[in-house]
Structure 1
Amino acid sequence: MFLIVLFSLLNLNPNSMVLFDFSKNSDLQGWFVVNDDVMGGRSQAAFEIDAAGNGLFQGKVSLENNGGFASVHYRFDRMEIGDSKKLVLHVKGDGKRYQARVYANTSDNYSYIAYFNTSGEWQTIEIPLENMYPSFRGRKLDLANFSESGLVEIALLIGNKKVENFSLQIDKIELR
């Protein structure tokens, strides 16, 4: 009973597993940007800590040379997800649509994806893991939706088939 009261007082979720909680002192080791230039495209993106201590993913998507996407990835040692049912993102976007991706194994050449829309305000986006479907290079695969026991990587991607500047602030990423 004491722990339940303590979690309530501290506003902590005992069923939450924090994947990354940004601050001004965050170490971005493990984070990396992947743009369409890996396939000849011309999109540009950067990832850094902003003045407020949030992760900041920003840049410009280009359609030149068959381009059209920018992404930021966070790779970590395999993490068992236990009873977690949702990927939870606390973000402030620019009103654009983004994609969340999770990778279950380093040997997989596909990820599980789900789209989310941003509003220009701080939002808590909850994505049921079971709704994330397998995809490779923008094509849905004929495999089951996410039902894995662990994760090795998460990513955020923008690729709306148009030229656009983008900016996504990230406060926290967790599993619940």
Structure 2
Amino acid sequence: MLTSRVLTKVAIVVIFTSLARPLYAQETGGIRSVSAMGLEQSEQSANNYMIDFTNQDNRHLWRVSNDNVMGGISKGAVVLTSKKTRFSGTISLENNGGFSAVFHKVDVIDADLTQLSLDIAGDGQRYQVRVIANHRKGSFGEERIHYFHEFDTQENKRQTLTFNLIDFQATFRGRKIDNAPALSSEDIEEIGFLFKKNSEDDFTLDLFSATFSN
């Protein structure tokens, strides 16, 4: 029979054994998956930062921004499955509408990452990938600035597309701006996708991952 003193020692060992479990749930090829304590399910190493759009635990990190903010009635949404995130909807031109967008929050990204690679499958139409940066200083003060890059998809074909961050165009409240601060990976707070068209149409874009690298 165990004495109360022995039971106390056993309990202490169990507690410290439990606390010794690592914060990072898995580590593969030097890339750590930040999955403990409710942190964003992303992967970051010294050379890249990967967002896994197939992770259903990240539903709360998405938000939709349709043209209803300007009075439009276009519809867009994201649906997550175990294999992908699908961004789809219908564009309407009523009330000066014509676009739909979705955005995904990101954790702190290392500085000096200069490229963005997307693993996507589209419908043959043109989209924009957008990042929202908060520079926190300079002529734009605390304002968050959108930077975008257009890309064409191939119908029913999975693609990997790579962009240089330096080639992203800054836009502020719908206007292109040429004197915006240079886009730096460490300032990025969200990544998103936008579809716009001057005619009514449906759209579908499947998202698998986004990777910032250098």
Indicate the TM-score class for this superposition, using the shorter chain for normalisation: 0.7 to 0.9
CA distance in 1, matches of 2:174, 2:199: 15
Quick one: higher RCO (CA 8 Å, sep 6+), 1 or 2? Answer: 1
1:150 and 2:203 aligned: no
Is the 1:81–1:151 Cα contact (8 Å) retained in structure 2? no
What is the TM-score with the length of structure 1 in the denominator?
Answer: 0.83
- Tell me which moved more, 147-156 or 95-104: 147-156
Is the 2:121–2:158 Cα contact (8 Å) retained in structure 1? yes
Q: Which residue is 1:72 aligned to?
A: 102
CA distance in 2, matches of 1:172, 1:76: 13
Q: Which residue is 1:119 aligned to?
A: 154
Deviations 1:52-102 (A, max 9, x none): 52000000011110001000001234x233231111110001001000111
**1:28: how far off?**
1.1
Q: Which residue is 1:3 aligned to?
A: none
Q: Which residue is 1:89 aligned to?
A: 118
Kindly, what percent of the aligned residue pairs are identical? 34
1:104 is aligned, of 107, 124, 133, to: 133
Is the 2:49–2:109 Cα contact (8 Å) retained in structure 1? no
Counterpart code for 1:103: I
1:29 and 2:60 aligned: yes
CA distance in 2, matches of 1:122, 1:145: 33
CA distance in 2, matches of 1:24, 1:109: 27
Distance 1:155 1:24, change over 3 A: closer
Counterpart code for 1:175: F
Q: Which consecutive residues of structure 1, in runs of 5 or more, have no partner in the other structure?
A: 1-5, 8-12
Is the 1:61–1:162 Cα contact (8 Å) retained in structure 2? yes
**1:133: how far off?**
1.4
Give the structure with the larger helix fraction: 2
Distance 1:89 1:17, change over 3 A: same
Q: Which residue is 1:54 aligned to?
A: 84
What's the secondary structure of 1:37's corresponding residue?
helix
What is the TM-score with the length of structure 2 in the denominator?
Answer: 0.69
Structure of larger gyration radius:
2
Is the 1:41–1:62 Cα contact (8 Å) retained in structure 2? yes
Is the 1:71–1:158 Cα contact (8 Å) retained in structure 2? yes
Q: Which consecutive residues of structure 2, in runs of 5 or more, have no partner in the other structure?
A: 1-28, 31-44, 137-141
CA distance in 2, matches of 1:153, 1:24: 17
**1:24: how far off?**
5.8
